[in-house]
Structures are given as C-alpha cells and as structure tokens.
Structure 1
C-alpha cells in the first residue's frame, strides 16, 4: 500500500509544473523567437526607466506586448525589440545598431 501511494505521488508531481498566466508553446526548428524588452531598473533611484529612455536601438514601431493581467498590474511595459533569433539555429554575432553618443548621452548609461 505504501509503495502504491509513493508511486502515485511521484507520477502526479512529475507532470504538474505549470506557471500560471503563461501558456505553453511549441516551437519548430527555424521558428522566429522575437526578443521582448521591459523596463530598466536603476541602482541610484527607486523608479524604473522605460527601456527606450536611453539610446538603445528602437524598432520602427514600438508595440506594447502585455500578455496577461499580472504584467499590467505590476507595471511591466513589455515591448518589442529589433532582436530576433531562430529556434535551434546557430547565428553569428552581428551589429544591431551603432549610435554616436555625446558626453551627456554617454553619462546617462552609467
């Protein structure tokens, strides 16, 4: 009886991992994996910055990608980015953006 109980306990717990609010997705080789960005936190202030507050590479159109109510209530600003990967594909490093910064803009990155 004890063996049956532990066997059932192990079987039920092995298949019960689920993160609420995040639906599982299946990907095939070569499927696009767009990278999303969120807010920037600072060690100097308590207030977060918008990701594109600094001169990061911006997409042509910024789209808010909140996927569930929890993200909205937490104040997450999940947005699209210019970065994309392909599932199970090796990609070499490449430059996404080159920006010329003056002294004031460079100081904002610190």
Structure 2
C-alpha cells in the first residue's frame, strides 16, 4: 500500500507544479509587454460600435462623441482587418 500512496502523492505534486507554472506565464501573439508607472499617459484607442438591433457596425465617431482634432488610424495587423476592426485614437488618456 505504501507505493500506491507515494504514487498518488507524486502525481498530485506533479499536477500542482504544472498548474503553478501555467498560471505564471502566458503569451499574447503580436503584443509586446509594456510597463507603465504612476502618472504616465495611457493612450486609449477606440474601435467600431456594434448594435444588438442591426448586423452593421458603425464607425466610433459616427455618433456625436468627443472627436479628437485629428483622427489617426493605428497600424492594423491581418487579424484586425479580417475582423473589420478600425482602431483609432481618442481624446481620453
């Protein structure tokens, strides 16, 4: 019986170590990590507006939101283009 208990304990320990290691690491493709300190400006980007009533998305500034003086489109990757995302700057920081 002792070898069976040791086998269960080692299996549980291995499983716990796998859970701990996977919780401490992750990878987001195409996103580089960036650190911010207190007081640093944090630029806020906006995307399209979707509705529960219609299938067509609206441009974010189609409605009367606070528009920035100049709208700048962010660089898009292929995934954003295929999803129809149009990432733009906002007046919020």
TM-score range (shorter-chain normalised) is 0.7 to 0.9
Aligned residues: 84
Q: Which has the higher strand share?
A: 1
Per the alignment, residue 69 of structure 2 pairs with: 60
Match of 1:14 among 23, 27, 37: 23
The structure having more radius of gyration, on CA atoms, is 2
Per the normalisation by structure 2, the TM-score is 0.74
Match of 2:52 among 43, 52, 73: 43
Structure 2 unaligned runs (5+)?
A: 1-9
Residues 1-110 of structure 1 mapped to structure 2, 5 A cutoff: 1-84=10-93
Per the alignment, residue 4 of structure 2 pairs with: none
What is the CA RMSD across the aligned residues, in angstroms? 1.9
Q: Taking structure 1 as reference, are residues 62 and 7 closer, same or farther at Cα in structure 2, changes over 3 Å only?
A: same
Structure 1 unaligned runs (5+)?
A: 85-110
Q: Which has the higher helix share?
A: 2
